[in-house]
Structure formats: C-alpha cells, structure tokens
Amino acid sequence: MSTWPVGRFLVSQRKLGILLAALGGLAVLAGCHRAPPEAAAAPPPAVPVSQPVEREVTDYVDFTGRTEAIELVDVRPRVTGYVVKSPFREGSEVKKGDLLFEIDPRPYQAQLDQAEGQVKLYEAQLKLAQVTLRRDENINKTPGAISQAQIDQDEAAVEEAEARLKAFRASLEVYKLNVEFTQVTSPIDGQVSRYYLTPGNLVNQDQTLLTTVVSLDPIYAYFDVDEPTVLRVRKAINDGQITPYERGKIPVLMALQGEDEYRHEGTLNFVNNQVNPATGSILVRGLFPNPVPESGTTRLLSPGMFVRVRLPIGKPHPALLVVDRAISSDQGLKFVYVVTEANKIEYRRITTGALQSDGLRVVSSGLKAGDWVVIGGLQMVHPKMEVKPDQTPMPSLSSGESSGDAAPSGEGPAGDAKPGTDAQPASAPMARDEAPPRKEPAKAGDGAGGTEGGNSRTKAE
C-alpha cells in the first residue's frame, strides 16, 4: 500500500480517500441547508390618469388648396406700334389707371388731327347748306320767284351735310380712342409682373402680351372637398344636427406653410355645381382678406400659394376631449385604457373626432365625463392589471405640458417622473443622477445578508 506525506504525517491512500469523501459530504450538507432569500411582492405600478376635458368644440375637416387672384389681367396693346416708354417698376403694386407702357402716339395723333380738320370742313359745308336753304325759303314767299325743285335741292343738301358731319365725327372719336390707347394703363388695382417687352419693340394690336396684373386684396383659396364629406354635411343639415349658416357667412380658416394655427379667417363664397367624376370631389372657394400689415409693408398672401384650409362643420357643441397620446390603435380601431374603481385597467373602445389646436382630441363616443383615462406609461399596462392611479389634470399644449408620455409620481420605472416636477418615484432605489451605493467586500464571518452578499460568501467558503 502506497503512502503520501501530508504535513508531518504519512497517510495511506485508503485513509486519504475516506477523508476527502467526508469533507465533500459536509460541504454538500452545508449548501443544502442555506435557503435563498424570498423576494418581496412588487407593489402595483403607478400610472398617470386624467379625466376627459368638457368644453364646446366645433367639428371641422382639413383640406389642402391654392390661393388665386380674384382678378387676373393679361395686359395687351389695343393699337399697333413701337413701345417708347415703360415707366412702372417691375413687381410693384399699381393702381387702376397707372401708366404701364406708352406706344408711339405720333401716327395716331396725325390721324386725329386730320379727322378734326375734316369735321370742321363738313361743319362749314353744313352751315352753308343751311344758310342757302333759309334764303331760298324767304325768296319762295314771293309767288313764282323760285321753283319748288330748288327748295327740295336745298333741303337735300342740308341733310347730306348733316350725315357727312355725323360720320366724320364718329371717325374722330375712333382716332381719339387710338391716341388714348397708346397709353397702356393698369385696368385694376393690384401687383404688376415684369416687362415682357422693353422699349423699341413692335407690338401688335390685341396680340402681344406686355405684362400681367393680379389683384391682391381680397384673395381666393380654392380647395376640393371629397364626396363623403359633402354627403355627411348635407345629411347632418337635413337631419337637423347642423344649423346651416346664412349665405355668405360660412366661416373658413386657413394656415400657410410653417404655421401650426389656422389664424387667417375668411368666408365660403362658392361651391361648384357638380362633382368631378375623375377625383370624386367638388370644388369649393373661400374668400380671405389680404391687407398690408400695420407693422409692415408687404402683404402676406400671393396667388398660387399652397395653403391648408379648415372648414368648420356646424356650430359649437359640447364634447369630451383627451390628450392625443392617450389614444391607441388596434387594427384601425381606436381605444384607451381606463382605470376602474377597483384600480384595474379596462380596455375601452372609442370613436374619435378632430384634433384640436391644444393637442386634445374629441372623443365622440366610448367615454364618460367621470372616467379616469390612462395618459402615460401605456406600454407597461394591460387589461385587468392592477395599478396605482396617479390623478393629474389632463395635459395639453396650452398648459405647457410636454408632448411625451406623462409618468406617475409614485412607483414606476426610473425616468417616468411627472413633467414639471423634480420628485423621484417612491419605490425607485435611486435618482438617475445619483451614484450607486458602494458595495463592501463580503467578509468570511458575516451572517446572512442580501443576495449579493450570500453569493460572495459562498464563493469565499
């Protein structure tokens, strides 16, 4: 039998095996008797809840459209000739009657002078014929002094002179108009475009385009209303759900590029008489004022601008509203989570309406005024789950609340603190900006401790 030295003693192979087996059994027994600590039951998570806001709202539908000038004029010459002057400034606002172009007037002035001479000539001839007629009529008072034929010739001469004079006077008016037409003026108040032709160019009567002028104030906004909306409005009017406005007093709102609010107010003044079968929509037009601002010199609207148009449907009516982020979608169906009196989460299907400017959305059906709607932490709740409701006012953009998820002020995940407060969740072990507690190394003589300490001690043993 072989032996090995252990310390100062010689131990046989058999005895050494028995000793090792005994030590292993003791270690196993010691490990089996150490029970893991039981985890404490987690408290219900806190979720922010708010009651729907009750107020009067106006239903509306949004569309896209384009602005268009009420008056658009292509400026063309009414006489043929060479342009000699264009005194207007390109792109400036002009008044009706302002001079835009001048065509060489000399040929037309010469024709006018000639026509005036002809009129004076025929006025003299008429005067002579009338004098001759009066003289012969005086002579005719003496029987047999003059024949009746002579009297008839004198009367015919007077009538001929009158007709000739009338014709040349009409020609004179034409020549006067030609001279006036050499002064090309703006036919409307508005904004003029650029020079299409500069001085020295030949222009043809009623053909050559010189420039354009568009009116600016007021201005139109055209947009297409889809057929379902048209039918919805008409049915609501027929059923008495919507009180129709008086003609010319239907309000319409407009927003420009980069504007979040519909701050431009106008009126609806035209609806087309038929639906476009290619698009399934009907053309509608709004009229909007476009004055020069008191604090500036430039009008805000120009023809051809892209705009968003909001068409109110009916008059204001009471409604319930919730913040838009509290509404979820399930295969196209809208729903919210509501906390019951037993602090349980309940799935509630709703019908939504228009989104208001303050971030609240109208709920047409599915909610009551006293319901507590979950407005934050939607990703960690589910139906029939027990929660701790944190009751807060309904957040909105006008109240300065953040558009992100609101978080409870009680227990909850780190980082879910309520906007506008510095308080940390009650059950959170530490604040985000605090350093974690320093862990002391486990000592061999320590008693039962936390899980981390127990594991360290086991390894030490």
The CATH number of residue 150's host domain is: 2.40.50.100
Residue 65 and residue 85 in one domain: no
Q: In this predicted structure, what is the pLDDT of residue 412?
A: 38
Residue 242 and residue 126 in one domain: no
Q: In this predicted structure, what is the pLDDT of residue 323?
A: 92
The whole-model pTM stands at 0.63
Residue 287 inside a domain? The answer is yes
Q: In this predicted structure, what is the pLDDT of residue 305?
A: 94
pLDDT in tens, 25-53: 555 555 555 556 666 677 888 999 999 99
Q: Could you write out the three-class secondary structure of the chain?
A: CCEEEECCEEEEHHHHHHHHHHHHHHHHHHHHCCCCCCCCCCCCCEEEEECCEEEEEEEEEEEEEEEEECCEEEECCCCCEEEEECCCCCCCEECCCCEEEEECCHHHHHHHHHHHHHHHHHHHHHHHHHHHHHHHHHHCCCCCCCCHHHHHHHHHHHHHHHHHHHHHHHHHHHHHHHHHHCEEECCCCEEECCCCCCCCCEECCCCCCCEEEECCCCEEEEEEEEHHHHHHHHHHHHCCCCCCCCCCCEEEEEECCCCCCCCEEEEEEEECCCCECCCCEEEEEEEECCCCCCCCCCCCCCCCCEEEEEEEEEEEEEEEEEEHHHCEEECCEEEEEEECCCCEEEEEECEEEEECCCCEEEEEECCCCCCEEECCCHHHCCCCCECEEEECCCCCCCCCCCCCCCCCCCCCCCCCCCCCCCCCCCCCCCCCCCCCCCCCCCCCCCCCCCHHHHHHHHHHC
Average pLDDT over residues 401-409: 44
Is residue 413 predicted with pLDDT exceeding 60?
Answer: no
Residue 108 and residue 122 in one domain: yes
Q: What is the span of the domain harbouring residue 269? A: 60-69+215-317
Q: Average pLDDT of the chain?
A: 79
Single out the residue in 214, 242, 264 at which a domain terminates. Answer: 214
Confidence of residue 245 (pLDDT cuts 50, 70, 90): low
Is residue 436 predicted with pLDDT exceeding 50?
Answer: no
Residue 190 inside a domain? The answer is yes
Is residue 426 predicted with pLDDT exceeding 80?
Answer: no
Residue 449 inside a domain? The answer is no
Q: Bigger pLDDT: 457 or 107?
A: 107
Q: In this predicted structure, what is the pLDDT of residue 403?
A: 42
CATH number for the domain that contains residue 296: 2.40.30.170
Residue 132 inside a domain? The answer is yes
Q: In this predicted structure, what is the pLDDT of residue 64?
A: 93
Q: In this predicted structure, what is the pLDDT of residue 72?
A: 95
Residue 343 inside a domain? The answer is no
Q: In this predicted structure, what is the pLDDT of residue 454?
A: 38
pLDDT in tens, 250-307: 888 999 998 888 889 999 889 999 999 999 999 999 999 999 888 878 889 999 999 9
Q: In this predicted structure, what is the pLDDT of residue 202?
A: 94
Q: In this predicted structure, what is the pLDDT of residue 247?
A: 67
pLDDT in tens, 157-177: 888 888 888 888 888 888 999
Residue 94 and residue 222 in one domain: no
Average pLDDT over residues 133-150: 80
Residue 245 and residue 267 in one domain: yes
Residue 280 inside a domain? The answer is yes
Residue 101 and residue 116 in one domain: yes
Residue 194 and residue 250 in one domain: no
pLDDT in tens, 188-230: 999 999 999 999 999 999 999 999 999 999 999 999 999 988 8
Please give the tally of structural domains in the chain: 2
Residue 122 and residue 210 in one domain: yes
Q: In this predicted structure, what is the pLDDT of residue 214?
A: 95
pLDDT in tens, 314-348: 778 889 999 988 999 988 899 999 999 999 999 99
Residue 10 inside a domain? The answer is no
Single out the residue in 188, 214, 240 at which a domain terminates. Answer: 214
Residue 253 and residue 173 in one domain: no
Single out the residue in 294, 317, 340 at which a domain terminates. Answer: 317
Residue 192 and residue 257 in one domain: no
Residue 232 and residue 134 in one domain: no
Residue 380 inside a domain? The answer is no
Q: In this predicted structure, what is the pLDDT of residue 243?
A: 67
Confidence of residue 235 (pLDDT cuts 50, 70, 90): confident
Residue 114 and residue 198 in one domain: yes
